[in-house]
Structure 1
Amino acid sequence: MLKKEDNEKLCRTNSGTPMGEVFRSYWIPALLTEEVPEADCPPVRLKLLGEELVAFRDSEGKVAILDAYCPHRRAHLFWGRNEECGIRCVYHGWKFDQAGNCVDMPNEPDNSKFKHRVKLTSYPTWEKSGIIWTYMGKGEQPSYPDFEWLRAPDTHFQVSKTYEGCNWLQALEGGIDTSHSSFAHNNNIQDKKSMRSRATNPKLEVDKTDYGFRYVGIRDLKDDGNYIRAYQFIMPAQQMRGQMIKWHDGSREDYPTVRGHIWVPIDDESVWVWNFKYTSEPSIPLDPKFSLEQEILFGRGPDDVLPGYRLKRNPSNDYLIDRELQRTKTFTGIKGVNTQDYALQETMEKPFIDRTKERLGTADLAIIAARQMLLEAIRDLEEGRQPKGVNPETYRNVRACDRFLPKGIDWREGLAEDMQAKF
């Protein structure tokens, strides 16, 4: 369990809060490239870490992220006109460039210098792999992220995002939880031969690192050896995991991928879940048909997502739960692996769960480690130190994997090569 004050520290991310300042030490995903696809396209609203923002791609193709409200009379700049390397408020014509400078104030006298004293908050951006990243801190910008999946070619990589209506920490903790897959994600409880049914209590081992921690879930399959899924947790809110998946036409048994999430708080009661996957072998591109099948399996297919990247199955319709399916085939009766997570996480206590009432066990070692790391990051900032994972050199060569290992082989040795980046 957590002390009440520590729970508050970890869950609240607005400007000036301890965890909010931790997030502002890193580059974080802000938008998909597809949201601002071309120069001078319509601006978009966004909210990150409790801040109301507006984004636009200017005439030179550069993406700007600014305070959403015009400093004149606080009109929202979503209504603004994206023109000639700036966004013009349509209320009185004030115009701002990518850096937030007021470059035109047409309702003031021609000789007025007032515009030179007006500036909007702006945040730097960096575009890579279909993602627009931003740095919302006040200090010196850290180096750009250098995850292996950002170095994978476009032919090997896919990214998406979905809205989740809960506090960021309970979403993250659901993602790094290992044993719940035997229940929440067991989509055929009648199949007693599946790994999820044969080993419902994986043994967890956690190794802390200078970027976060790595951990494994070890499922004892008796005479068949151990199935080991090895994860990476990269501060402040990224998880990577390996997954061997059968090829969609049955011709290939081993189609190795690495997938994961980054959880970026919108505010204290909602979060953007960024989903990425890439093939872990440079010689194997990501098959579009396979990729689509996986998105549908996870509940993120084209027919599953509403405008605004919100799931069609949501609290308003009880996630379209099928009680007959629940009675006969699955534990949840809900379709979509991520949708199953959302149903459980979005309907917890608001604005966030009371962790003083929890009772954690050995299955929760990764969750405990994450909380320790996040509280350590808060202390590091308060004492003038850089939090773990800000420096990309600490994590650029890591990856996740899953493998079968014979009994008696320590995963640190048996998976050493598989946990090294290849891109």
Structure 2
Amino acid sequence: MISEEMNRTLTRTGPGTEAGAVLRRYWQPVALTDEFDGDRPVRPVTLLGERLVAFRDEQGRYGLIDRHCPHRGADLCFGRLEDGGLRCPFHGWNFDVSGQCLETPAEPEDSTFFQKIKTTAYPCVERNGIVFAYMGPLEDGEEPPAFPSLDCFVAPDAYTFAFKGLIECNWLQALEVGIDPAHASFLHRYLEDDDPNQGYGKQFRDFVGGTDIPMTRILREFPRPKIQVENTDFGLRIKSLRDLNGEAMHVRVTNQIFPQAITIPMSQEMTITQWHVPVDDETCYWYAIFTSFGKPVDKALMKAQRLDLYEMPDYIPKIGKRNNYAYDPAQQQSRTYTGMGDDINVHDQWAVESLGPIQDRTKEHLATSDIAIGAYRRLLLRAIKTIKTGEGKLPINSAEGGPASVFGPIAVDTVAPPDNWTDSWIATDKARRDAAPWSNEAVTSAAAE
């Protein structure tokens, strides 16, 4: 249970807010590169409460600038993409990806007024299907922080797939479900096991650790994990241990990458790195990169599976609160714990949206299984204090944190002897990396130190 004031501090991310000041010092997903397909690569974007427009110019550079022209405030989402920038249709003022005005064509021919005009702009880069922007403060000539060497960025494009989806709630409650290992045994419980060989592209459908035990069975039959949380140079490492009747130990390793991402195992072959990105204080997007350590990703199948569930162009869920999350009492008795279909995104969406647009944490009662949630909130509050006082450094992968050197992080499910499980997750990951065409052996050696 926390105070109303602290809840506001943790959840609000608009301009001038304390949590927003933290998030702005890290790279933020802006859009999928797929959203720039077509003849006119221009997209309206609201990010951290700021109304912006994203575009790709003729040279292939991505820009993210203020949505309103600094001349008279017209909407640049309707701009003409030409002559090296995005041109306002009102008076022809043209802006490049840096926000610099290139031309004010209604002014006298010899006018240099345009050289004095620069609109808000944030540097952008593309990584494996997602365009990211850095919205933090930078001095003139200062470069934004480098990207960390996460698996999802190190892997070649053929071994990754990116997607996103809208969630109608505050970003923090969306993030907190991802660092809550206990919920999977209930919210994502399947009352019968499907054939794991038919589970490509779906979470919790694979066999575990080279065994013939489906992940769905472990979650269903062993609902009381022992959870360990470790502070790392990238955020938090979370280990969930399920004692399988003294015969073996199931070890699940997930990660919170500060400030807003998680990396979790999806199957023996794939991991998911997922960001929870505020649109405003009551809406967010999840962005995910699925990374394969085995075969190249079947992108067409992965995309088709997800397009069955989302409406374009804004990636709005087809199943949600407007249709009661497709809740079916009969299915709740025979198929899934929630009665909301087989897709876990629907389960998560219900869980976080049902808390309200911004959860009232003054009424919550955290328990032992919520250890990672408490650890994360302390991490965020510490980062807020760092910015306010100017003392210390933010975690790695920020402008204050120095060069990016995070590897991995390791995210696996494995089964080991109950009295010798400690290093099993490292060994499982090493075997997977040794077989991967693009493996980064530094991850395993760094984890073992």
TM-score, with length taken from structure 2: 0.84
Matched-pair identity in %: 35
Structure 1 match to 2:221: 198
Pairing 1:16-415 to 2, within 5 Å after superposition = 16-37=16-37, 41-139=40-138, 140=142, 141-188=144-191, 194-244=217-267, 255-281=268-294, 284-287=295-298, 291=302, 296=305, 301-307=306-312, 308-335=314-341, 336-350=343-357, 352-384=358-390, 385-390=392-397, 391=402, 393-411=404-422, 413-415=423-425
Following the alignment from structure 2 to structure 1, what is the Cα–Cα distance between the partners of residues 78 and 404?
41
Q: Deviations over 1:146-172 (max 9, x none)?
A: 211111122221111111111000000
C-alpha distance 288-142 of structure 1, shift in aligned 2 (>3 A): closer
**Number of residue pairs matched by the alignment:** 402
Deviation at 1:33, TM superposition (A): 1.1
SS of 2:149 mapped into structure 1: coil
Following the alignment from structure 1 to structure 2, what is the Cα–Cα distance between the partners of residues 289 and 68?
33
Deviation at 1:289, TM superposition (A): 7.6
Deviation at 1:324, TM superposition (A): 1.7
Larger deviation: 192-201 or 64-73?
192-201
SS of 1:169 mapped into structure 2: helix
Native 8 Å contact 1:146 1:392 kept in 2: no
TM-score, with length taken from structure 1: 0.89
Q: Deviations over 1:66-89 (max 9, x none)?
A: 000011221110111101211111
Following the alignment from structure 1 to structure 2, what is the Cα–Cα distance between the partners of residues 187 and 392?
43
Larger deviation: 95-104 or 320-329?
320-329
Deviation at 1:223, TM superposition (A): 4.1
Following the alignment from structure 1 to structure 2, what is the Cα–Cα distance between the partners of residues 320 and 227?
32
Q: Deviations over 1:71-122 (max 9, x none)?
A: 1221110111101211111112211112111222122222333322221101
Q: Which consecutive unaligned segments of at least 5 residues does structure 2 have? A: 195-213, 434-438, 441-449
Q: Which amino acid aligns with 2:121?
A: S
Larger deviation: 394-403 or 197-206?
394-403
Following the alignment from structure 1 to structure 2, what is the Cα–Cα distance between the partners of residues 410 and 331?
30
Following the alignment from structure 2 to structure 1, what is the Cα–Cα distance between the partners of residues 266 and 97?
41
User: Over aligned residue pairs, what C-alpha RMSD do you find?
Assistant: 2.2
Deviation at 1:287, TM superposition (A): 4.2
Q: Which amino acid aligns with 2:169?
A: C
Structure 1 match to 2:4: 4
Q: Which amino acid aligns with 2:155?
A: A
Native 8 Å contact 1:236 1:389 kept in 2: no
Native 8 Å contact 1:210 1:394 kept in 2: no
